[in-house]
Each structure stands twice: as C-alpha cells, then as structure tokens.
Structure 1
C-alpha cells in the first residue's frame, strides 16, 4: 500500500494487471458536540477531457446512487462511505472521476470542515486490499465547505489515482462552477 501526499499520483492498473474494479473508500472523524453535527456527503463526478462533468447524469451521490452506465455506484461498507468503480464499464468519454466530500447545507450544524479530523480517501481492490491511501491534510478548515479529495484518471490505457485535498470556501457553488454541473 502506498501512502500519498497532496499532488502525488499512483499507477493502479499498470502495477496491478487485470485490475478491473476498485473501491474508493472515504473516512473521517467529526469532533462531537452537544448540538447537531456536520453531515459530510461524498460525491463522484465523471468528467470529460476538459475536466468538466459530462452531464448531471454523470454524478453519483446520495440522491443518485449509481451512474447511468452502472460503472460508478455507492455501496455499503466498513468505511464511512464507499463508491465502487468498475473500470471496465467506464465510458470512453470519461477521462477522470473526481471524488469530493461536501458539508450538507440542509443539515443544521457546523457548515464547514472545522470539526473534521482524520479524513482520508483510499483505493482498494474489490476484496479490500488497499492499493493507495491519502490522509487529507486538514489544517484550518473553518471556511472550507467542500473538498476535492482525489481523482481516478486515465493515462494512456491505464488508470491512475491523484491525491489532491483542495478545499472550496464557496462549497457546492464552487464545485458546480468548476465542474459545470447544475445543483
């Protein structure tokens, strides 16, 4: 298993011949409070060569649990959340799949990442063998309302993972602008 730093890349299919399915697991701890807790929600965005969502139908989140083609879907798991990706079913038009986590704006409570600790994203085989892990650096996140944890992307005929950890102070509005999605 490789542990990544922000900006680092890891070859997945080149180093694991025959790898056709991966699970992308997310985890975090939220500092307990006496009031409502921040509700974190993972989001996968299937993007084209211009790093934009192919369409709103190419999003996977709690209201749309599976992509139309069945290649990306939420699954029950031991991580806080898990999105499974069948690499063999991902359409050719998809150049990358961005994995974000945002604070649900509809839930009362902390509206930012300030109470979040020990956040990570990991990529594993279908049987749970961890291939890469990225412990997201969470310094001062009082103004972060969404965060791009990492992305799976095509490199020639192979798939790689890039660790990112980019926060969005403007939350889902910023994500929607950057990826050209409608909320």
Structure 2
C-alpha cells in the first residue's frame, strides 16, 4: 500500500522496507489548457550531495545529458520532451547498494527547458507528482502530489532522499525557484553555464 505525503513530510525508506535496494523515482505532470505555442519540455534531474549539502562536480549531477553516475548508482532512463501520456513522464533509478558512503543526500528536481524563451512556468503545470517504487517488486511505496502552489517558478526541488543513522529516508520538499536549471544547480553548489 502506497503512502501519500504532504509537503515537508518525511518517511523511512530502507528501515521499514529492508528489501529495498533499488528505487525508481517516477515523476509526472500535465500541462494546463494554457498554451504558449511551444511544447512543454520538463526535465528531471538528480544531485548527489555530500555532508555540506553540495555536489562536487558534473559527475554528481544526473540528467538527460549526463544520464548516469560513473559507478551506475543513479541513472536517468531518458528524456520525455512533451510529457504526453499517463503515468511517469521521466524516471530516475537509484541503487542504494552502489551509492558511495560519503553521499549523504540526493536532491530530485524538475525544470522547464527554455522556460524564459518560451514564456513557460510551473503555474502552467498541473497534476505534478513524484512516486517511489521498489524496482524489484514494482510496488509503489510512496507518492507526493505537488499541488498547484506554483506560479512564476521555472524549477522545483521535488524531494530529497537522505541518510540518517545508516538508513535512507525520503522528504517531500516542493520548493520552487525562478531561473530554471541554473538556479537549481547553484542551490546544490554547481556552476551551470
């Protein structure tokens, strides 16, 4: 049975699900009836973060152009350029057994590609969600529906997974940013040009 989370809530992952070694982070969204004349290309990304809450370099940033970490612990399954269809629009897979011990958090974000040029923002997006699925059993463990709290934001930190006393936990974040991917990268210590 899946647990539905609200913004700010936290939940144990590996302590209450000891067989969870590989998780699918599924992200989905719909576009409101609003149109700017261009497709809405939303992109999911993951940031591997250290004790200071920052990524060290591009190898800690997983997205459509850098689809996996060097050791394969986190990988992006592919870019959906329109968000059409039901279910997950993009997925990121996390193998907890391969994560380096100094990685303390994984930030999951969604950004709108070329948002400023296309005059697009998260106020145009509805039914946005993140869900975590046990890859081995295909069981949905949790789901966080972001709601309609955004207006001018072009990027959102959806959730973070973090280590606590040797176990992995999940926190529903839902924090919006203006400035797209560059703003999220700066938030996590990377310089995105």
* d(CA) in 1 for partners of 2:116, 2:95: 32
Aligned counterpart, 1:179: 188
Residue deviations 1:94-153, cap 9 Å, x none? 0010000001127953431121000000111003210010001222x3310100000111
Aligned counterpart, 1:5: 6
Q: Is the 8 A contact 1:150 1:162 kept in 2?
A: yes
Greater shift in the superposed pair: 89-98 or 103-112? 103-112
RMSD: 1.8
Unaligned runs of 5+ residues in structure 1 are none
Length-normalised TM-score, structure 1: 0.92
Q: From 69, 72, 75, give the equivalent of 2:71.
A: 69
- Segments of 4+ moved more than 6 angstroms: none
Aligned counterpart, 2:84: none
Change (3 A) 1:166 1:106: closer
Change (3 A) 1:34 1:98: closer
Aligned counterpart, 2:56: 54
Residue deviations 1:67-89, cap 9 Å, x none? 11100001269510000000000
The number of aligned residues is: 182
SS at match of 1:66: coil
Q: From 111, 118, 124, give the equivalent of 1:109.
A: 118
Aligned counterpart, 2:108: 99
* d(CA) in 2 for partners of 1:97, 1:10: 15
SS at match of 1:18: coil
1:79 aligns with 2:88: yes
Change (3 A) 1:146 1:106: closer
Greater shift in the superposed pair: 50-59 or 25-34? 25-34
